[in-house]
Amino acid sequence: MRLELVKRPQQSKLYSALSPFIAFGLTLVAGAFLFAMLGKNPALGLYTYFVEPLTELWSLHELAVKAAPLILIAVGLSVCFVSNNWNIGAEGQFTIGAITGAALPLYFPDAQTIALLPAMLVCGALGGAVYAAIPALLKARFNTNEILTSLMLVYVAQLFLDWLVRGPWRDPAAMSFPQAPAFSSWATLPELFPMSGRANWGIVFALVAALVVWFMLSRTLKGFEIRVIGQSPRAGRFGGFSTARTIVFAFLVSGALAGLAGIAEVSGAIGRLQPQISPGYGFAAIIVAFLGRLNPLGIVAAGFVLALSYLGGEAAQIAVGVTDKTVRAFQGILLFFVLACDTLIHYQIRIVRRAPLSEPASLSTETAHGHG
């Protein structure tokens, strides 16, 4: 028995819409097995992971807090992935964005005005974009593999942040904790509804970014250019589109959004710079981008799903007694199923039985000749 793929004449519209749902369903099944293997009640585990966080108002706020960076980063990544540029260093661009944005209040402590926060957000986005420009320019100019360079820069950015908060930017008042001073109220991203929970303006930025990028990708010439270059660079060149310009553009957009996510995270949810500012948002956003089928509107939904997994992981630690490390395992399994299900869009999968197996045993001598 083996699997055989038959190319569909056209992409299947049905499976384009269904595949993320099938993948999520399969992940739940795999998750149930995982819980059972760990000796936990699968029903309770899945409930704690994927339902319980939705039952209370404050945890809906937390969901928005976690979804905001995931959506912002993933929307940017979709521009890269659609144009066939593999930016996997969003975690680093996120970190640099947080640093460049936070530099403003640290270096200009007297500038306590209403303009401070917008300036910080702009600086964060710029920082992320500049950092993403490194792998982009190296790819455009020297054809250097952007996957490896962008990833290496993640480690560099994290070490840079580590040095800053333990060295020059360390808060002298924080005793032995390696952290920068807390942001003033002018430098803090305001909460949307402070009465009921922590959700801040980050989620609004994320939704706006998703809409803008969706419009750009699907309704403008620039979006068309990005898609053509992504599918066939040769066709793009005949159309007069520049591959190098597209590389740089895609990286700048995704770097800027990752940087914005970074500064929004430290200024909103965390409140200061510290050695650890992300539970792997930059990598989880890759999963978000694929689960959303590289469509910014789909990414919004996918961002909430992954945010739910983070919240569920925290809840399951207490309620079910599994380590919060299960979150990343879950997320990895989800990406596998998403990719596997995407095959259904382009191919029909047929299960073929080998002929010799179905023949009676008495014919074995002939089958040996006939089928080799």
Task: Confirm or reject binding of residue 345 to another protein (CB under 8 A).
Answer: no
CA dist., res. 237 & res. 225, Å (int): 10
Q: Is 326 in the site for another protein (CB under 8 A)?
A: yes
CB 165 within 8 A of CB 273: yes
d(CA 165, CA 217): 38
Q: Which tokens hold the place of 253?
A: 């957009």
Q: Which segment (61-69, 170-178, 283-291, 360-368) binds another protein by CB under 8 A?
A: 283-291
- Cβ-based nearer residue to another protein, 145 or 218: 145
Residue 327 contacts by C-beta under 8 Å, 6 or more apart in sequence? 309, 310, 312, 313
Distance, in Å, from the CA atom of 45 to the CA atom of 40, rounded to the nearest integer, reads 7
Nearest distance from C-beta of residue 148 to another protein, angstroms:
5
Interaction of residue 96 with another protein, rule CB under 8 A: no
- Does 111 bind another protein (CB under 8 A)? Our answer is no
- Quote the tokens at residue 132: 């993403």
Closest separation between CB of residue 100 and another protein, Å?
A: 18
Q: According to the binding rule CB under 8 A, does residue 347 interact with another protein? A: yes
Q: What is the C-alpha to C-alpha distance for residues 1 and 78, in angstroms, rounded to an integer?
A: 37
Contact 274, 179 (CB under 8 A): yes
d(CA 361, CA 147): 53
Which of the stretches 46-54, 62-70, 109-117, 138-146 binds another protein when contact is defined by CB under 8 A? 138-146
Q: Can you tell me which residue has the tokens 């957009």?
A: 253
Residue 208 binding another protein, by CB under 8 A: no
Q: Is 186 in the site for another protein (CB under 8 A)?
A: no
Distance set, CA 163 to CA 106, 156, 276, 289, 325 (Å): 15, 11, 12, 31, 27
Nearer to another protein, 5 or 14 (CB): 5
- Asked whether position 355 contacts another protein by CB under 8 A, the answer is no
Report in angstroms how near the CB of residue 170 gets to another protein at its nearest: 13
Among 339, 355, 363, 368, binds another protein (CB under 8 A): 339
- Binding residues for another protein (CB under 8 A): 3-5, 7, 86, 88, 138, 142-145, 147-149, 151-153, 155-156, 159-160, 162-163, 167, 283, 286-287, 290, 323, 325-333, 335-336, 339-340, 342-343, 347, 349
